[in-house]
Amino acid sequence: MSTEQTSVREVGRERCIEELDTRKRKRGAKVLGMRALGNLSVHAGGIPLTTVGMSTVLSRSILRRGLSRSVAFWLVAAPLAFGTLTVVAQRQDTTFQAGRFWAATGGGVAIMGGSLIGLNSAWYAEYDRQAFHGFNDGAEWLQTDKGGHVFSSYWIGRWAQGLMTYSGVPERPGAWVGAATAMVFLGGIEVLDGYSAGWGFSGWDIAANAVGAGVFLGQELAWGQQRIKLKYSVWSSPYAERRPELLGSSFGERVLKDYNGQTLWGTLAWGGLHREPVPWGWLGISVGHGADGMITAEATPGDGRARQIFLSLDVDLERIPTQSRALRTVFFLLNCLKVPAPAIEFRSTGRVLAHGLYY
């Protein structure tokens, strides 16, 4: 075979890979609402001390969709989140409030139903319809995309329970309502995917949704509180420069599409182990999961990707003592974010790294 023919074959192969990855990115792109506050990286004594973008993650939205579809998540997440502000600011009595209950229930059904109808008529209208079919994306991105489903389901459940508590519904029944709300709404997205030629129903996504709802509901039923809080952190990795069409060409696109810079955390605070307030009860240990070195959805021989497990300190903002209703509200809304702190990183390659400050 001539050199020219070999070159043509290689170019064709690269184009096929790019097209495949682009389609998988559309299936796997995660949408985060955030406000980036900066990026700084320094070194001391040969150990990287990294202060990555201290971004405000406002939502861990629909996942696998694209920026357009994050609107649907916000139509559900924003009312649920802000509907809990009164609950966080002041714990009212447990008297059932029928007006509040029916307003919250009716509003929630209308918002979720309207979001799904809007997606079906607007977003999915761009693709042909097919018989219901599945899509196996379990091996993509070292499962970091599934962390977004876990995170979304967990927080939708918490917000929905907050609305029920505000209506006077006891916390345990309210927790069941919260978990069901998360599963129904996010599951509805998957059903729509199953009939679209551009997507496909993902059992892995449903499983991840169930994990998030289960983490929330299980803790409410077992302990009557959230001892372990799920959090997220995002920063801009250097890999997007190698595949800007896949991982983003601007900072805003990169923090939305680049899985290399996204970490899901579980934080257990000292106060979560006690029923009564204790000194330093807001300080906790956090375990994170992420991945690095990914420029394609699925692994290729020698691509250098690695799974990451982090061990770090964190602050459970909801356990900080304060008499201010406004601060309690702010702490609740911001508690989905991991606080930048020193961390130890364990990689699947066997490397162990120390970070002076990691986010």
Q: Is there a contact between 234 and 53 (Cβ–Cβ < 8 Å)?
A: yes
If one counts every other C-beta atom within 10 angstroms of the C-beta of residue 64, the result is: 27
pLDDT digits (tens, 9 = 90+) for 269-314: 999 998 888 999 999 999 999 999 998 888 888 888 999 999 999 9
pLDDT digits (tens, 9 = 90+) for 165-217: 888 899 999 999 999 999 999 999 889 888 888 788 999 999 999 999 999 99
> What is the pLDDT averaged over residues 98-119?
83
Which of the two residues, 355 and 45, has the higher pLDDT score? 355
Give me the pLDDT at residue 124, please: 75
Give me the pLDDT at residue 77, please: 54
Q: DSSP alpha helices (H): ranges in 224-259?
A: 244-247, 251-257
Give me the pLDDT at residue 48, please: 32
Name the 3-class secondary structure at 88.
helix
Q: Is there a contact between 297 and 28 (Cβ–Cβ < 8 Å)?
A: yes
DSSP state of 294: -
| Token pair for 47 | 């150990």
CA distance 60 to 14: 32
Which of the two residues, 34 and 334, has the higher pLDDT score? 334
pTM of the model: 0.76
Q: Spell 329-344 as b/e; 16+ CB within 10 A means b.
A: bbbbbbbbbbbbeebe
> What is the pLDDT averaged over residues 8-30?
46
Choice among 87-101, 271-285, 312-326, 335-349 with the minimum mean pLDDT: 87-101
DSSP state of 134: B
| Token pair for 350 | 């066997």
Nearest of 166, 167, 186 to residue 63 by alpha carbon: 186
DSSP state of 111: H
Mean pLDDT over all residues of the chain?
77
> What is the pLDDT averaged over residues 85-113?
72
Nearest of 203, 200, 65 to residue 132 by alpha carbon: 200
Q: Is there a contact between 79 and 108 (Cβ–Cβ < 8 Å)?
A: yes
Contacts of 96-105 with C-beta under 8 Å, sequence gap 24+, read: 96/167, 96/168, 96/169, 97/166, 97/167, 97/168, 100/166, 100/167, 100/168, 101/164, 101/167, 101/168, 101/169, 104/163, 104/164, 104/166, 104/167
Examine the pLDDT at 54 and tell me if it is beyond 60.
no
Sheet containing 262-269, strands listed edge to edge, beginning at the edge strand earlier in sequence: 228-234, 262-269, 283-292, 306-315, 341-347, 352-358
> What is the pLDDT averaged over residues 148-167?
91
Which residues are CB-neighbours of 171 under 8 A, at least 6 positions away? 161, 165, 220, 224
Examine the pLDDT at 29 and tell me if it is beyond 50.
no
